[in-house]
Amino acid sequence: MQSLIDIRRALHKIPELGFQEFKTQAFILDYLTKLPQDYLEIATWRTGVVVRIVGTNPTKTIGWRTDIDGLPVTEETGVAYASQHAGHMHACGHDCHMTTALGLVTAFVKNRPVQNVVVYFQPAEEGPGGAEPMFNWLKEERLDLLCDEIYALHIAPEYPVGTVATRPGLLFANTSELFIDLKGIGGHAAYPHLTRDMTVATANLILQLQTIVSRNVDPMNSVVITVGKMTAGTVQNVIAENARLEGTIRTLNAESMQAVKSRIEAICAGIEVAFECEVSIDYGSLYHEVNNHEACANRLLAFAKQYDGATDFLCPAAMTGEDFGYFLKEIPGAMFWSGANCQYGLHQSKMNPDESLLSFNTDFVEAFIRSL
């Protein structure tokens, strides 16, 4: 069989966006069908894959989830196995996550676990969100592939390889995409009084959005509103008729998310009046917070403490978004950060994890699941 490094590099070459992971799915299925099939069941859902390994004496089913999609990032690592898909990259480490999952299946097929194990290769984590619809499919059509408890990891470039960092309770925040479109009246730059300038309206809107955190949110309650992209106009001497903002909202609870959205809507209504324009809001994908179950997170930390080569770390909560939270709404489990030892962070074009994490993660997770 392929080595873990070979698997990771092959997957790294073919990053695909959410629900477009056709080559990725084909790679996973090709790998899995070459394994012994006696105690293996393979199912597909859209561009995802689910694998069930029958245990030797099961009393429960343990789930392991990996994400499989890439990001719309142009790679700048300079490695020989760089992305072959222009403008797409595994800049969030999902190639490493998939490699660990395939390594787990291989290990469990060769040496069956006591418990049943189900591995979920979930599409569209980066957007538009695959966890919730995948879980709904499991509940409605494939109850036999559901599990009793579930775990997952996410690489953390800032930590050394061997770090297992997690916490009971909130690990990652609620997140919502934010898209705001403004429509006014365009025209010649020399006759601004005959137009409704959406560049000016949008500039004012951005400034007002930033007051939500500073003036409408309890200072003891963390909220982030980030506008990452603004587009307006077509050329320097034409006043912009249209403008668009793209951003994200992060909160520590669902109530704060709703309060922030209500305030955004009120501000946008004010912009409509002040600048005589039309404003529309689309919240895109919403991700539920990752809330680790206390017993499961503590079990992970305790196991890491005694595992040779691991460093357990009780980490703080982060404003990171992760749709694994939809699994944890329904099933006890936990997610942890796994050290990747890289100077570049997640979603950066030069992010290239230390590949020694592949064998560590696979061995650690295999041993942990066998201990349950």
Beta bridge partners of 229: 246
Q: What is residue 1's predicted lDDT score, i.e. its pLDDT?
A: 57
The domain boundary, picked from 286, 320, 352, lies at: 286
Q: Residues for the chain: how many in total?
A: 372
Do 279 and 234 lie in one domain? The reply is yes
Q: What is the pLDDT of residue 254?
A: 85
Among residues 116, 113, 90, the alpha carbon closest in space to that of 17 is found at 90
Rounding to the nearest 10 degrees, give the CA dihedral for residues 366, 367, 369, 372.
Answer: 170
Residues 258 and 223 in one domain: yes
Same domain for 154 and 30, yes or no, is: yes
- Inter-axis angle of helices 198-215 and 254-275, to 10 degrees? 150
Q: Do 167 and 339 contact (CB within 8 A), yes or no?
A: no
The catalytic residues are: 67, 126
- Residues 125 and 243 placed together within one structural domain of the fold: no
What is the residue range of 55's domain? 4-172+289-371
Number of independent structural domains in the chain: 2
CB neighbours (10 Å) of residue 34? 11
Pair (116, 25) in one structural domain: yes
Task: Mark whether 179 and 257 lie in a shared domain.
Answer: yes
Domain final residue, candidates 227, 253, 286: 286
The answer to whether residues 152 and 48 touch, using CB atoms and an 8 Å cutoff, is no
If asked whether residues 143 and 81 sit together in one domain, one would say yes
Do 82 and 16 reside in the same domain of the chain?
yes
Q: List average pLDDT for each run of 10 residues in the chain, which is 372 residues long.
A: 92 98 98 97 98 98 98 98 98 98 98 98 94 97 98 98 98 95 98 98 98 94 95 97 97 92 98 98 92 98 98 95 95 98 97 98 98 98
Residues 352 and 315 in one domain: yes
Out of 243, 271, 286, a domain closes at 286
187 and 120, same structural domain?
no
- Whether residues 20 and 150 share a domain: the answer is yes
Residues 46, 155 within the same domain: yes
CB 16 within 8 A of CB 85: yes
Q: What CATH code is carried by the domain that includes residue 100?
A: 3.40.630.10
